[in-house]
Amino acid sequence: MDQFLQQLVNGLAIGGIYALVALGYTMVYGVLKLINFAHGDLFTIGAYLGMTLFVSLGLAGKVPAWAAVTLVAVMVMGLVALLGWLLERAAYRPLRSAGRLSAVVSALGASIFFQNAVMLIWGAKYYVYPETMRPDTILHLFGMGIPAIRIVIIAASVLLMLALYWFINRTRLGTAIRAAAIDQGAARLMGINVDRIIALVFLIGPGLGGVAGVMVGLTYGQISFDMGFSYGLKAFTAAILGGIGNIPGAMLGGMLLGLIETLGAAYLTMAWKDALSFLVLILILIIRPTGILGERVAEKL
Amino acid sequence: MFLELDNLHAGYGRVEVLHGVSLHVDEGEIVSILGANGAGKTTTLQTVSGLATWMSGAIRLRGEDIHRLPSHEIVTRGLAQSPEGRRVFGALTVLENLRLGAFTIRDRESAARTRDWIFELFPRLYERREQLAGTLSGGEQQMLAIARALMAQPRVLLLDEPSLGLAPLMVRAIFETVRKVNESGVTILIVEQNARAALRLASRGYVLELGRIVMEDSAANLLANPSVQQAYLGA
Ligand SMILES: Nc1ncnc2c1ncn2[C@@H]1O[C@H](COP(=O)(O)OP(=O)(O)OP(=O)(O)O)[C@@H](O)[C@H]1O
Ligand SMILES: [Mg+2]
């Protein structure tokens, strides 16, 4: 039982991270019907920026670790959002009318560009988040010790998702994002500036992805220049699992995948941990290609 | 002249569909465009709304050139469209669709007044306001498409085949609403398969053939014209 609770917390923490990254894939797919292959790299950049900012701002010891981490996470969100916005401007907008294939090639190119930029700036090696940045409070719940940081990460990812859910469903701009995902032409007839909606999506998705990168550093300590590939693939799986283009679907898919992976590794076999995610992906593609919450294709296209 | 198309060439990408269309709609008028399938009626309306590719010529709204403006700015200048095939946002509720129609209206109170008027015009939409638009009947979706365009408080309304695929009773209801909307002061340019009904409503009409205007006359004359009768009125 103890072990189950522990694994549950782990599963939800990693699930929240997958969900935040998955949201970026799914929102961009929603408005552009394009897989942003560079999204995983923006996530990596978020993880590295978090570390660099923390170190270079010299926050260690001066302010409480929680405050420092929050400040860094907010800054990373803003900076990676800005990178996402620039990416859309430079790599996708000029090709908007050039067809799907050009956009895919451009996405791959952007991904390679970011990977190389990371290696150039930080080097092709692993880094460890500074201990001073990782609050080491242990919570004692039900007679076991759970690192407080994991609970905080679950809470933060859930809060971010609730905020996004509220924004998408309750505000004028959020409704415009949904409209643009359904029918861009009709959205234009409503007087919606679809270019600005796309730019907004490229701010939100990468912003959340960047924060998720910091969360990985805080949870596991270690970050690497190629982390965007594996996490990106998992998050993409989560987006498909929930139904690509569907925002609540990405949240659900991320959480589910985190739980399946963690509990599967604990109770089935550790060696199959990664294979499990792809088994899920293959199964979902066979059984329900639209994903759990995915609309019928006719409605989406 | 309220809305004026002057020797308009337009199409999609590099393909030219309209080869010099000129027409005008005066303030308060209902004007109808007739034409066979593929004549370019939808393309004409799409170009006015900034969704098709403008190539040359001019489109003027109350004297101002609008053919280079992006579509969203055309809406802010008082021109809205209910497009062919309705294109309501199926996964959104009726209310959300209406709210999107009012996207350019920053004054909430005035948007609320427009909505009240629209619910008077379409009581059925009020009953179904929380329902997803995709679950409405075809006639209700058409009402929603018109209502949504009206939420932008347009001075000019473009209607593309509002009666397409509807039962006769519903067609009559839609045309009756179009008349009421016009009486409230909205200028209307309407494209219709149901040319007879459209011409009864309109003061003037144009006949479009292969991207060119081939005839222009009062609605009464067009209704009485033997060649129009044969080609478009099924007589
Ligand atoms: N998106 C598009 N891309 C390229 N060509 C198009 C596009 N839409 C329409 N066309 C072409 O433009 C021409 C005019 O089409 P349009 O839809 O304007 O005709 P229409 O008069 O509205 O016909 P209908 O009565 O069938 O609605 C047709 O030859 C059509 O094939
Ligand atoms: Mg048409």
In this structure, are residues B205 and B230 in contact, taking their beta carbons and an 8 Å threshold?
Answer: no
The one-letter amino acid at A48: Y
Q: State the DSSP code for A132.
A: G
Supply A21's token pair. Answer: 């990254």
**How far is B156 from B102, CA to CA, in rounded Å?**
15
Q: Name the residue ranges covered by the structural domains of chain B.
A: 3-232
**How far is B191 from B193, CA to CA, in rounded Å?**
7
pLDDT at site B129: 96
**How far is A94 from A7, CA to CA, in rounded Å?**
46
**How far is A273 from B98, CA to CA, in rounded Å?**
48
Whose CA is closest to A54, among A81, A82, A31, A75? Answer: A75
- C-alpha to C-alpha distances, B207 to A219, B145, B165, B182, nearest whole angstrom: 69, 25, 22, 22
A262: domain range? 2-287
pLDDT at site A169: 95
Mean pLDDT by 10 residues, chain A (301 residues): 84 97 96 94 97 89 86 97 97 88 92 94 91 83 84 95 97 97 97 98 98 95 92 94 93 95 82 78 84 60 32
Task: Look at the block and give the residue holding tokens 């930029």.
Answer: A117
Whose CA is closest to A178, among B64, B123, B96? Answer: B96
Q: Which of B15, B23, B34, B41 to mutate to test the pocket of ligand 1 (most atoms within 8 A of CB)?
A: B41
pLDDT at site A60: 77
- In chain B, the percentage of residues whose pLDDT exceeds 90 is 92
Is A182 in Cβ contact with B152 (below 8 Å)? no
Per-residue pLDDT tens digits for A14-59: 999 999 999 999 999 999 999 999 999 999 999 999 999 999 988 8
Supply B26's token pair. Answer: 């005066």
Among the partner residues B13, B71, B91, nearest to A182 by beta-carbon distance: B91
Per-residue pLDDT tens digits for B40-94: 999 999 999 999 999 999 999 999 999 999 999 999 999 999 999 999 999 999 9
pLDDT at site A270: 67
Cα(B40) to ligand 2 centroid in Å equals 7
Torsion from C-alpha of B139, B145, B149, B150, nearest 10 degrees: 30
Instruction: Calculate the CA B203 to chain-centre distance.
Output: 15
pLDDT at site A301: 32
Question: Chain A to chain B, count of Cβ pairs less than 8 Å apart?
Answer: 68
**How far is A73 from A213, CA to CA, in rounded Å?**
9
Torsion from C-alpha of A240, A246, A251, A253, nearest 10 degrees: -20
In this structure, are residues B93 and B129 in contact, taking their beta carbons and an 8 Å threshold?
Answer: yes
What's the complex ipTM? 0.96
Whose CA is closest to A189, among B44, B103, B161, B108? Answer: B103
Task: Look at the block and give the residue holding tokens 């034409």.
Answer: B35
The one-letter amino acid at A44: T
Whose CA is closest to A223, among A56, A75, A52, A71? Answer: A52
**How far is A15 from A30, CA to CA, in rounded Å?**
21
A183: left (phi over 0), alpha (psi -120 to 50) or beta: beta
Q: What is the CA radius of gyration of chain A?
A: 19
Secondary structure element (H or E) that encloses residue A283, with its range: helix A273-287
More confident residue, B185 or A135: B185
Cα(B184) to ligand 2 centroid in Å equals 26
**How far is A251 from A17, CA to CA, in rounded Å?**
10
Q: In chain B, which residues touch A (CB < 8 A)?
A: 13, 49-51, 70-72, 75-76, 80-81, 83, 87-92, 96, 99-101, 103-104, 134, 148-149, 152
Is B71 in Cβ contact with A175 (below 8 Å)? no
Q: State the DSSP code for A171.
A: S
Supply B235's token pair. Answer: 């007589």
Instruction: Give the CA angle between residues B23, B80, B141 to the nearest 5°.
Output: 115
pLDDT at site A266: 82
**How far is B128 from B132, CA to CA, in rounded Å?**
8
Is A183 in Cβ contact with B75 (below 8 Å)? no
In this structure, are residues A99 and A107 in contact, taking their beta carbons and an 8 Å threshold?
Answer: no
> What is the number of domains present in chain A?
1
Whose CA is closest to B147, among B172, B129, B171, B135? Answer: B129
What would the DSSP string read from start to end of A207-253? HHHHHHHHHHHHHHSEE-TTHHHHHHHHHHHHHHHH-TT-HHHHHHH
Q: What is the CATH number of the domain that holds A93?
A: 1.10.3470
**Is A201 domain-assigned?**
yes
Which segments within B102-221 are labelled E, that is strand?
Answer: 156-160, 187-191, 204-209, 212-218
**What is the distance between the terminal CA atoms of chain B, rounded to a whole angstrom?**
33
Determine if ligand 1 sits within 6 Å of the CB of residue B35: yes
Is B96 in Cβ contact with A186 (below 8 Å)? no
Supply A72's token pair. Answer: 């860094």
Tell me how crowded residue B139 is: count the other CB atoms within 10 A of its CB.
Answer: 18
**Is A295 domain-assigned?**
no
* Residues recorded for chain A: 301
Write the secondary structure of A148-213 as one string of H (helix), E (strand) and C (coil): HHHHHHHHHHHHHHHHHHHHHHHCHHHHHHHHHHHCHHHHHHCCCCHHHHHHHHHHHHHHHHHHHH
Is B92 in Cβ contact with A175 (below 8 Å)? yes
pLDDT at site B84: 97
**What CATH number does domain B3-232 carry, 3.40.605.10, 3.40.50.300, 3.90.226.30, 3.30.70.20?**
3.40.50.300
Residues of chain B with Cβ-Cβ distance to A299 below 8 Å are 90-91, 134
**How far is A180 from B79, CA to CA, in rounded Å?**
20
